[in-house]
Chains A and B, each alone.
Chain A
Amino acid sequence: MAEITPIVMPKWGLAMQEGLLAAWHVAEGARVEKGQPLCDIETAKIANLFESPAPGLVRRLLVEPGATAPVGKLLAVLAEPEVSEAAIDAFIEAFEARFAAEAAAAAETAPQPRIVDAGGRKIRLLEIGEGGVPVLFVHGFGGDLENWMFNQAELAAGRRTVALDLPGHGGSSKDPGEGTVPALAEAVAAVMDALAIARAHLVGHSLGGAIALALALDRPERVASATLVAPAGLGAEIAIDYIEGFLVQNRARKLRPVLEMLVHDPKLVTAEMVENVLKAKRMDGAQAALETIARACFAEGRQRWRVRERLGALAMPVQVIWGEEDRIVPVAHAEGLPAGIAVHRLAGTGHLAHMEKAAEVNDLVARLLA
């Protein structure tokens, strides 16, 4: 029998249980390539384009625009013309029966974040997958482990992955210590100790990129590779309007334009995303911790911790990924790096490259790991 490819609601991060199918970009009868936009999907966190995971002929679209579907639900079916309508009907019926049964079972086994004690601090982290040298994800200023919702699960096949909340962020302790890049790097090293991770592939974004760099420079024996997404630490410039706006604005309507600076397409910033940032900032101690970190890292509107001249000393594989339209840390910081560091510049992409261009970033990370 010829092959039938199911297209299902993707799971973008641990919080995603369902998605709203906002619009189809293809019609029944259309031929799609792998990576071609299939539809717009909105979650509580973000709106994003869903790209076809496989090439094929679209035979059925099974969810109406505007409808909400649980993760894993069949959205569409790809199959070549020789597959009969009856065969497709039978496939859909069998798939949906199996999905209903599996959904009930999976609900109980979904990975949940947990709290560990790391160097005397409470740190929230999420582990997905087992095996190999672990991948450790480190988010940026004001973020949390859910920033990796499009990346972590994708990279967890056959590999242990850990995403953590930095001190002062998410569900972790609101004690950031000095709040400097080296101090935060020590906190991340303490998490590796607590999890008995001797060596990890680091994936860091923005301030998290600087933290990954600090670990790579100061504890190279613990860093197998480093993927730096729009990292801090490579130059003095930083959009202090963003940092200050993030700290000061406590109303959704005022915070939204600040968060829109993070992305190339402002539609990616949903009301729920704004609300989630506000919720994080309201946690006891969060505001003071963020202010401490901002003062320590970005005093007078400049990055205080810069290591460009030390990069030549890095012996492990290092790559830098940057959005051409980054409005927070300028993409120019990706220029003039030592030859051993691969630089990938992504067009039409802002500061949140790992969310805006998740598929590309995941491919780049996977290649570095392989």
Chain B
Amino acid sequence: MPKKTYRQAINEALRQEMERDPRVILMGEDVAGGMGSPGEDDAWGGPLGVTKGLMPRFGRERVLDTPITESAFIGAAVGAAATGLRPVAELMFVDFFGVCFDQIFNQAAKFRYMFGGKAVTPVVIRTMYGAGFRAASQHSQCLYSIFTHIPGLKVALPSNAYEAKGLLIQAIRDDDPVIFFEHKAMYDEEAEVPDDPYAIPFGEANVTREGDSVTIVAMGRMVNFANQVADKLAKEKIGATVVDIRTTSPLDKETILETAAETGRVVVVDESHPRCSMASDIAALVAQECFSDLKAPVKMVTAPHAPVPFSPALEDLYIPSPAKIEAAVREVLAFRS
């Protein structure tokens, strides 16, 4: 199977869905680049080149460079979705959601509910998240827990290139608004990705490693870190199960609880801040639903409750690392054993 980067996988998903369905359009800041100015068209293909090549293929009618006005183009995308298109809007950095959140949480998320199920809003908002890019506090946050908090939104966090293509195709075909989180440090990471289209259903976690001593629940970029730790522990004959939750909303509670109950020791890894996070949400779920199966308190590995630092040394310390995950695993394994 051909290897493709996370960036190529996302581009391929967009291209194949645009070929399949003429209602799919792209919009965002510099998704082509060069609109209305002299010089090269398609100069950018998005700030990190993810949508490169789509404007020449599908034209300006379907690949729309927008002004730097998230409030306007996210609102336009939501309205276009409610009236029959299937827009994929690019909110360049999720850190910018503050200027367009009403359009997302009060409008897109509510239409199906407030119009008695008679309206659907098949919009996808692609957005970059995550630290490690030396981009400081306003371009490095995770924030997916905020969108997960809102009923009516679906939230996907692909953990590799294969997942990115399948989850994005599902997002585009889904009739509800989907916030699609792309980790900016993963765009060059490769995985085997089939050439033909495929969709990965939402709300179905992926068990990427199987072991009987500890369960590591992870999401997004943290899944690869958790897999590395599981592989290292396997050499010491310590079996770790790794659960990639794939989507934070809907959340596959069944797989989390089953695997938590099987091992009785749970570590949740979340790149986000710890308060009101996916980590605290999943830890609470496990504590409430399988308390009697637990052999140790649930341990969370997260960033600290602090903005992402600009100092490279501090940023490296800030992000949950395989070493921190391994230490947490050893701690829950040592608890009363």
* A→B interface (CB under 8 Å): 15, 66, 171, 250-253, 271, 275, 279, 282-284
Q: Is A15's CB under 8 angstroms from B196's CB?
A: no
For the complex, is B199 an interface residue (Cβ under 8 Å from A)?
Answer: yes
Q: Is A282's CB under 8 angstroms from B199's CB?
A: yes
Considering the chains assembled together, what is the distance between the CA atoms of A15 and B192 in angstroms? 11
Q: Is A271's CB under 8 angstroms from B210's CB?
A: yes
For the complex, is B281 an interface residue (Cβ under 8 Å from A)?
Answer: no
Which B residues, 151 to 202, have Cβ-Cβ distances below 8 Å to chain A? 162, 166, 194-201
Q: Is B197's CB under 8 angstroms from A284's CB?
A: yes
Interface residue count for B (Cβ, 8 Å)?
19
Chain B contacts for A253, CB-based, 8 A? 207, 255, 258
For the complex, is B206 an interface residue (Cβ under 8 Å from A)?
Answer: yes
With A171-B196, A250-B201 known as contacts, the answer to whether A282 contacts B166 (CB < 8 A) is yes
What is the minimal beta-carbon distance from A322 to any residue of chain B, in angstroms? 31
With A252-B206, A252-B207, A253-B258 known as contacts, the answer to whether A284 contacts B201 (CB < 8 A) is no
For the complex, is B235 an interface residue (Cβ under 8 Å from A)?
Answer: yes
Q: Is B199's CB under 8 angstroms from A284's CB?
A: yes
20 A-B pairs with CB atoms under 8 Å apart are A171-B195, A250-B204, A251-B204, A251-B255, A252-B207, A253-B207, A253-B255, A253-B258, A271-B209, A271-B210, A279-B162, A279-B194, A282-B166, A282-B199, A283-B194, A283-B197, A283-B198, A284-B196, A284-B198, A284-B199
Q: Is A15's CB under 8 angstroms from B1's CB?
A: yes
Considering the chains assembled together, what is the distance between the CA atoms of A83 and B194 in angstroms? 50
Best-surrounded residue of A66, A271, A283 (most CB of chain B within 10 A): A283
Chain B contacts for A279, CB-based, 8 A? 162, 194, 198
**B251-280 contact mask (Cβ, 8 Å, vs A): 1 or 0:** 000010010000000000000000000000
Chain A contacts for B204, CB-based, 8 A? 250-251
Considering the chains assembled together, what is the distance between the CA atoms of A282 and B194 in angstroms? 11
Give the residue name and chain of the A residue nearest to B166 (CB): A282
Chain A contacts for B258, CB-based, 8 A? 253
Considering the chains assembled together, what is the distance between the CA atoms of A250 and B198 in angstroms? 14
What is the minimal beta-carbon distance from A123 to any residue of chain B, in angstroms? 13
* B→A interface (CB under 8 Å): 1, 162, 166, 194-201, 204, 206-207, 209-210, 235, 255, 258
Give the residue name and chain of the B residue nearest to A251 (CB): B204
Considering the chains assembled together, what is the distance between the CA atoms of A68 and B235 in angstroms? 11
What is the minimal beta-carbon distance from A255 to any residue of chain B, in angstroms? 11
What is the minimal beta-carbon distance from A343 to any residue of chain B, in angstroms? 37
Q: Is B210's CB under 8 angstroms from A282's CB?
A: no
Give the residue name and chain of the A residue nearest to B237 (CB): A66
Considering the chains assembled together, what is the distance between the CA atoms of A279 and B197 in angstroms? 11
Chain A contacts for B1, CB-based, 8 A? 15
Give the residue name and chain of the B residue nearest to A15 (CB): B1
What is the minimal beta-carbon distance from B212 to any residue of chain A, in angstroms? 13
Best-surrounded residue of B194, B209, B235 (most CB of chain A within 10 A): B194
Considering the chains assembled together, what is the distance between the CA atoms of A279 and B191 in angstroms? 13
What is the minimal beta-carbon distance from A178 to any residue of chain B, in angstroms? 22
Q: Is B198's CB under 8 angstroms from A282's CB?
A: yes
Chain A contacts for B200, CB-based, 8 A? 282
Considering the chains assembled together, what is the distance between the CA atoms of A171 and B197 in angstroms? 11
Considering the chains assembled together, what is the distance between the CA atoms of A250 and B170 in angstroms? 15
Chain B contacts for A271, CB-based, 8 A? 207, 209-210
Chain A contacts for B194, CB-based, 8 A? 171, 279, 283
Considering the chains assembled together, what is the distance between the CA atoms of A252 and B205 in angstroms? 10
Q: Is A283's CB under 8 angstroms from B196's CB?
A: yes
Chain A contacts for B209, CB-based, 8 A? 271
4 closest A-B pairs by CB: A282-B198, A283-B198, A284-B197, A66-B235
What is the minimal beta-carbon distance from A13 to any residue of chain B, in angstroms? 12
Given contacts A282-B200, A283-B197, A284-B198, 11 further A-B contacts (CB under 8 A): A15-B1, A66-B235, A250-B201, A250-B204, A252-B206, A252-B207, A271-B209, A282-B166, A283-B194, A284-B197, A284-B199
Considering the chains assembled together, what is the distance between the CA atoms of A171 and B201 in angstroms? 20
What is the minimal beta-carbon distance from B25 to any residue of chain A, in angstroms? 21
Chain B contacts for A15, CB-based, 8 A? 1
Considering the chains assembled together, what is the distance between the CA atoms of A160 and B137 in angstroms? 60
Chain B contacts for A250, CB-based, 8 A? 201, 204
Chain B contacts for A275, CB-based, 8 A? 206
Chain A contacts for B198, CB-based, 8 A? 279, 282-284
Considering the chains assembled together, what is the distance between the CA atoms of A243 and B198 in angstroms? 22
Considering the chains assembled together, what is the distance between the CA atoms of A271 and B162 in angstroms? 16
Chain A contacts for B197, CB-based, 8 A? 283-284
What is the minimal beta-carbon distance from B203 to any residue of chain A, in angstroms? 11
Considering the chains assembled together, what is the distance between the CA atoms of A252 and B195 in angstroms? 22
Considering the chains assembled together, what is the distance between the CA atoms of A74 and B258 in angstroms? 42
Best-surrounded residue of B196, B201, B207, B209 (most CB of chain A within 10 A): B196
Chain B contacts for A283, CB-based, 8 A? 194, 196-198
Considering the chains assembled together, what is the distance between the CA atoms of A283 and B235 in angstroms? 34
Considering the chains assembled together, what is the distance between the CA atoms of A275 and B258 in angstroms? 19
What is the minimal beta-carbon distance from A68 to any residue of chain B, in angstroms? 10
Give the residue name and chain of the A residue nearest to B236 (CB): A66
Chain A contacts for B255, CB-based, 8 A? 251, 253
Considering the chains assembled together, what is the distance between the CA atoms of A284 and B197 in angstroms? 6
Considering the chains assembled together, what is the distance between the CA atoms of A271 and B209 in angstroms? 8
Give the residue name and chain of the B residue nearest to A66 (CB): B235
Give the residue name and chain of the A residue nearest to B196 (CB): A283
What is the minimal beta-carbon distance from B35 to any residue of chain A, in angstroms? 32
Best-surrounded residue of A15, A171, A250, A284 (most CB of chain B within 10 A): A284
Considering the chains assembled together, what is the distance between the CA atoms of A251 and B197 in angstroms? 19
Considering the chains assembled together, what is the distance between the CA atoms of A42 and B131 in angstroms? 36
What is the minimal beta-carbon distance from B14 to any residue of chain A, in angstroms? 15
Considering the chains assembled together, what is the distance between the CA atoms of A253 and B207 in angstroms? 8
Chain B contacts for A171, CB-based, 8 A? 194-196
Chain A contacts for B199, CB-based, 8 A? 282, 284
Considering the chains assembled together, what is the distance between the CA atoms of A253 and B252 in angstroms? 13
Chain A contacts for B195, CB-based, 8 A? 171
What is the minimal beta-carbon distance from B62 to any residue of chain A, in angstroms? 21
What is the minimal beta-carbon distance from B247 to any residue of chain A, in angstroms? 14
What is the minimal beta-carbon distance from A98 to any residue of chain B, in angstroms? 27
What is the minimal beta-carbon distance from B200 to any residue of chain A, in angstroms? 6
